[in-house]
Structure 1
Amino acid sequence: MENKHNSTQRKIIHIDMDAFYASVEQRDHPEYRGKAIVVGGSPEGRGGVVATASYEARKFGVRSAMPSKRALQLCPHLIFVRPRFDAYKEASRKIREIFARYTDLIEPLSLDEAYLDVTTDKQQIRSAIEIAKLIKQAIRDELQLTASAGVSVNKFVAKIASDLNKPDGLTFIGPSAIEAFMEQLPVEKFHGVGKVTADKMKRMGLFTGKDLKQLSEQELKSHFGKTGAFYYRIVRGIDDREVQPHRETKSLGAEDTFPYDLTETGEMHAELEKIARIVYERLQRYQLKGRTVTLKIKYSDFRQITRNQSFAQPVGDLETIISTAKQLLAATWPEDKRIRLLGITLSNFGELSVPDKYQHPAQLSLFDFDE
């Protein structure tokens, strides 16, 4: 492997809770066990989104960030449950206490997943696989929840590994197996490769990591921009990023490059609504609100602009995100312009407050929607 230059090979675990919000609800409410449930918004009214679907619901194709109305079409007997973020935060706190028994190098990604660096562990177990087993067992015994774990020498591979055998999985990809594993991995399974990029890769005849590996770094960069350099390294198993225990989320967003240039305002609005739903769902996972909404636009000639609006108080509801993005778009006079990418980002965060009562839909959105 090309990352043998590391003097000390890291031992990284990625823990990802299984259907976290839904599993907490099934644990606390026996009547939901074995049932197809989603935590999120009601299909009634406007804007309801699935936050988490139980595995019983996933069998019908129900997925996170899916509109609740669509979820109900796929699974007519679906049960919709309002989120209880206090319960999820408390479970997350206890999970991190379990992590801390083994290492202080913990990088939370959200309430339900984290990286752990156990290269040197507190209990001198010295085996990342054994530590992952002990963590999974403690979560099961103490919290009556299940987690999946990926174990490897870097963050990228550990994260992919944790998703391979869900639920309740444990997958180890050792140093000697990484390159072969990355070569056989379908491009859509690469963390960070979205549907549009995966489709572009396939049109280029790139279906697996092995196909990507045939291109030089410069060729990848010419096709995919600076992300091409990341693909070049990662397909060779090279990821030197450290686990950052004090990492602070500075901004959170999503963007999409379209298969054809958008020229109609109606099309742009429809795409902004899709992107806003993804941003909204991520905000709920991280329990964040932002004071600044930023719109990113890339035109067909690759010229790129950003526009932003700041608020006196943090915002996090879908309605405000969508309306602000549309207003920012309107200020650029988009008519008759050819747009190839749109993106929405929230930054300047404040802590999310969960209302005690369900009132106006804009305040309700945390519950009417909602990783």
Structure 2
Amino acid sequence: MAARSLPVPENLAPTVSPFWHKIFPVNIDLAVKTILGVWSAYFIVNAIRALLWGAPDHSHDLIVHMVTAIIAVTVTWALYRLLIMVGERTASMVFILTIPTIFLALGIAYLTDLFLAYPRPILEYIGTVHGVSEHQALSHFFDTAFVDYLMLVGWGGIYLALANSRKSQVALIHSRNLERATRESEMRALRYQLNPHFVFNALNSVSSLIIDKKNGPAENLVDGLAEYMRAVLNDYGADMITVEQEIAQQIRYLEIEQVRFPDRLSIDVKIDPDVRKWKIPALIIQPLIENAIKHGVARSCEPVCIRIVAARDGDHLKLSVANEGKMRADYQQNGSTGTGLANIKERLAALYGPAAALFAGNDKNKKVVATIIIPDENQIFRDYCL
């Protein structure tokens, strides 16, 4: 089949010399293996039959089958070239495997008998070898040609099935590569979306300190935010970082916020040792921390503890951020744009599909808890069948 639309990946396209590429321009490995395989099987089966049968004339039949197989390999190559000439037109391929293949099968039978009969006439040779009349010799000739026809059609079906399977594999690989590139672009766009969102919240924090005439803490907060942003952009600029790195970033951010809320904000972190090196999207819990500050600490007159927990839950990672307070159903109408949670959901969907999730709500201990469920790194960009 002609490969016109998509280049074959290296693992599906063997490297061959220009000479062999001219002889087998498409699917050289499939063509060679199927041609040699079919006719080698034909010869081996007949050789075994000759050896087991033990009839006096079967040694001669073995030579016939050997000559047939050698000639048939060349004729099958001609059929291969006819099939790739018509490209991917199904009707043309069906036509090639019917009418022209009949003549190719007759050619195999004719050339075999011509080679073995030389210099005698073909029908005389067949009649002498098989002890039949000339009329019966002609019938025997067509019977042999019919077997060769079935062999050619069988080869054609095998080759076209394998070639079509390879074409589907190539299309699937290209589709997955395109989907991967699209998802990676979407992931970067979503991550960059966090920057203005983060800056927006950070400026609100600075503004609050300035309004309260706390210029010293405001200056410290600006310096701390600048250092934090530098670390995020330089030290952890990768798309995927470890749980340990992600939580270290958020602790640093919370320490900056403690300048603003020295008496109200405390931090509690728990990381299971076996999930410290688990790879997760960078800044994935940043919006949760910001929400805890904005909706929990900033709106409370009582001390608030922000608790970050990273633990294994079966074959998934569970990341949770909790703080005292109550999550209101109308929080998006109370000064929240909803960008943070939406961003997390979109990033998780782009990376893991339905294998990851985000849950947020109130627990029985009067805390607001947001939990992210993340599978291992092998689940990234995995295809899911519904």
TM-score range, shorter chain: under 0.3
More strand by share: 1
More helix by share: 2
Greater Rg over alpha carbons, structure: 2
When the two structures are superposed, what TM-score results if normalisation uses the length of structure 1? 0.22
